[in-house]
Structure 1
Amino acid sequence: MNDAYEVVVIGGGAAGLSGALMLARSRRSVVVIDAGQPRNAPAEGVHGLLGREGMNPLELLARGRAEVRGYGGEVEDGEVAGVARDGDGFDVRLADGRGVRAKRLLVTAGLVDELPGIPGLRERWGRDVVHCPYCHGWEIRDQAIGVLATGPLSVHQALLFGQLSDDVILFAHHQELTAEQREQLTSRGIGIVTGEVESLEIAEDRITGVRLAGRTVPRDAVAVAARAVARAGFLAGLGLKTVEHPSGMGEHIPADPTGRTEVAGVWAAGNVTDISAQVGSAAAAGALAGAHINADLVMNP
Structure 2
Amino acid sequence: MTDELAGSYDVVVVGGGAAGLSGALMLGRSRRAVVVLDSGQPRNAPAEGVHGLLARDGMPPSQLLELGRAEVRGYGGHVVSGEVAALTHDGDGFTVALADGRTVGARRLLVATGLVDELPPVPGLRERWGRDVVHCPYCHGWEVRDQAIGVLSGGPLSVHQALLFRQLSADVTFFAGTDELSAEHAGQLAARGIAVVPGEVAGVEVADDRITGVRLADGTVVARQALAVASRMVARADLLAALGLTAVPHPSGMGEQVPTTDPTGRTELPGVWAAGNLTDLSAQVGAAAAAGALAGAAINMDLIAEETRAAVAALPG
TM-score range, shorter chain: over 0.9
State yes or no: 1:76 paired with 2:43.
Answer: no
Looking at structure 1, the residues matched to 270 and 150 of structure 2 have their Cα atoms a distance apart, in angstroms, of 45
Which residue in 2 is equivalent to 1:227?
232
State yes or no: 1:210 paired with 2:214.
Answer: yes
Looking at structure 2, the residues matched to 237 and 222 of structure 1 have their Cα atoms a distance apart, in angstroms, of 37
- Which deviations, in whole Å up to 9, do the C-alpha atoms of 1:193-239 show, x marking residues without a partner? 10000000011100000000220000000000100111121222210
Looking at structure 2, the residues matched to 97 and 233 of structure 1 have their Cα atoms a distance apart, in angstroms, of 18
Runs of 4+ in 1 over 4 A off after TM superposition: none
The 8 Å contact of residues 7 and 102 in structure 1, kept in 2 or not, is answered as yes
Match of 1:178 among 179, 182, 185: 182
Which residue in 1 is equivalent to 2:312?
none
Indicate the SS of the match to 1:298.
helix
Which residue in 1 is equivalent to 2:272?
266
State yes or no: 1:277 paired with 2:252.
Answer: no
Q: CA deviation at 1:246?
A: 1.5
Indicate the SS of the match to 1:199.
strand
- Which deviations, in whole Å up to 9, do the C-alpha atoms of 1:19-56 show, x marking residues without a partner? 00000000000000000000000000000000001000
> What are the residue-to-residue correspondences of 1:81-100 with 2, within 5 Å?
81-100=85-104
The 8 Å contact of residues 108 and 272 in structure 2, kept in 1 or not, is answered as yes
Match of 2:113 among 71, 96, 109: 109
Q: Which amino acid aligns with 1:188?
A: R
Looking at structure 2, the residues matched to 131 and 174 of structure 1 have their Cα atoms a distance apart, in angstroms, of 20
Find the structure with the greater CA-based Rg.
2
Which residue in 1 is equivalent to 2:314?
none
The 8 Å contact of residues 110 and 272 in structure 1, kept in 2 or not, is answered as yes
Which residue in 2 is equivalent to 1:2?
6
Name the Cα RMSD after superposition. Answer: 0.7
- Which deviations, in whole Å up to 9, do the C-alpha atoms of 1:35-81 show, x marking residues without a partner? 00000000000000000010000000000000000000000001111
- Which deviations, in whole Å up to 9, do the C-alpha atoms of 1:109-137 show, x marking residues without a partner? 11110111111100000000000000000
Indicate the SS of the match to 1:238.
coil
State yes or no: 1:246 paired with 2:251.
Answer: yes
Indicate the SS of the match to 1:211.
strand
Which residue in 2 is equivalent to 1:133?
137
The 8 Å contact of residues 15 and 286 in structure 1, kept in 2 or not, is answered as yes
- Greater CA deviation, 255-264 or 50-59? 255-264
Looking at structure 2, the residues matched to 259 and 214 of structure 1 have their Cα atoms a distance apart, in angstroms, of 49
Q: Which amino acid aligns with 2:91?
A: G
Looking at structure 1, the residues matched to 80 and 251 of structure 2 have their Cα atoms a distance apart, in angstroms, of 34
Which residue in 2 is equivalent to 1:142?
146
Looking at structure 2, the residues matched to 285 and 25 of structure 1 have their Cα atoms a distance apart, in angstroms, of 16
Looking at structure 1, the residues matched to 17 and 187 of structure 2 have their Cα atoms a distance apart, in angstroms, of 41
Looking at structure 2, the residues matched to 92 and 80 of structure 1 have their Cα atoms a distance apart, in angstroms, of 7
The 8 Å contact of residues 151 and 175 in structure 1, kept in 2 or not, is answered as no
Q: Which amino acid aligns with 1:207?
A: I
Looking at structure 2, the residues matched to 173 and 78 of structure 1 have their Cα atoms a distance apart, in angstroms, of 41
Looking at structure 1, the residues matched to 163 and 37 of structure 2 have their Cα atoms a distance apart, in angstroms, of 39
- What's the TM-score, normalizing by structure 1? 0.99
The 8 Å contact of residues 96 and 103 in structure 2, kept in 1 or not, is answered as yes
> What are the residue-to-residue correspondences of 1:158-169 with 2, within 5 Å?
158-169=162-173
Indicate the SS of the match to 1:246.
coil
Indicate the SS of the match to 2:242.
helix
Looking at structure 2, the residues matched to 91 and 214 of structure 1 have their Cα atoms a distance apart, in angstroms, of 55
Looking at structure 2, the residues matched to 68 and 252 of structure 1 have their Cα atoms a distance apart, in angstroms, of 27
Looking at structure 2, the residues matched to 100 and 289 of structure 1 have their Cα atoms a distance apart, in angstroms, of 21
- What's the TM-score, normalizing by structure 2? 0.94
Indicate the SS of the match to 1:296.
helix
- Which deviations, in whole Å up to 9, do the C-alpha atoms of 1:262-282 show, x marking residues without a partner? 111111110000000000000
Q: CA deviation at 1:85?
A: 0.6
